[in-house]
Chains A and B, each alone.
Chain A
Amino acid sequence: MAQPPPKAPELPPEASWPEESPDGVDLTLIQWTLSLTPLERLELLQDWVDGLAELRNGRASER
């Protein structure tokens, strides 16, 4: 019989959330993204992608 998918562990109220979940997820990062508007979240993702592209292109030009 198939096992049910694992559920996220129970979390305490927001004010006392730990920094990391027992399975190693950074909860502070999630709190931060949840504090943003959807447009800000998309802009954040765009910044991450652009930053990595800059690093990649910089590394390529150093070769």
Chain B
Amino acid sequence: MDEPRSVRFLGLLRALLRHGVDFFVVGGVAAQLEGAPILTFDLDVLYDKNPENLARLLAALRELKARYRDPAGRHIEPDAEKLATLRLHLLLTELGALDVLGSIGNGLTYHDLVGRTILYQLGESQVHVLELAAVIETKEQANRDKDRAALPVLRQTLAMKARLKPDAKS
């Protein structure tokens, strides 16, 4: 597989949607969709771990020619067992870097957070996205350097969104 020049966000989302995967967008892309100017080079998604969904996710990942981003350069592909048991899947696909996550923050799963998502219309695609307040909470819980660095922008964005007029774009 040729190395992708850069991640194709919409292409990755469309591939997951095409296979009917139950997921929502988290992390930096969720923050950006919620209006926070955050630069990120991968797409993070949180997925439902039920067996039927794992099969759909695996089909999507195979179509995308996904493999783990392995520092040693080994070619390791995701499979149903890994998707069912491991928490983090940091993948490289033919459309760029895709992080497929079983949980985020303090172990929060798809079912813990799906009630805090917003449905966005992105062109012809409808995508569920974690709301900004929840993105902030999960980054506070993760508490890594890169999460802490992003928090001032995320908090200011949330404060400004709260003060915008009701007719403002979401």
Select B29's contact among A39, A45, A50, A52, beta carbons within 8 Å. A45
- Contact present for B33 and A41 (CB under 8 Å): yes
Interface string of A24-38 (1 = CB under 8 A from B): 111101111111111
How far does the alpha carbon of A46 sit from the alpha carbon of B41 in the complex, in Å?
9
- Contact present for B160 and A42 (CB under 8 Å): no
- Contact present for B37 and A30 (CB under 8 Å): yes
Given contacts A42-B29, A42-B32, A46-B9, 20 further A-B contacts (CB under 8 A): A5-B140, A8-B156, A8-B158, A13-B163, A14-B160, A14-B164, A23-B152, A24-B152, A30-B160, A31-B160, A33-B35, A33-B36, A34-B157, A37-B169, A38-B129, A38-B169, A41-B33, A45-B9, A46-B10, A50-B5
A30-B37, A42-B10, A48-B39 are contacts. A57–B123 as well, Cβ < 8 Å? no
Size category, A interface: 35 or more
- Contact present for A49 and B35 (CB under 8 Å): no
A49 surroundings in chain B (CB, below 8 A): 6-7, 39-41
**Nearest CB on A from B1, distance (A):** 17
**Nearest CB on B from A59, distance (A):** 14
Size category, B interface: 35 or more
> Which residues of B come within 8 Å of A, CB atoms?
5-10, 29, 32-33, 35-37, 39-41, 120-123, 129, 140, 152-153, 155-161, 163-165, 168-170
A5 surroundings in chain B (CB, below 8 A): 140
B163 surroundings in chain A (CB, below 8 A): 11, 13-14
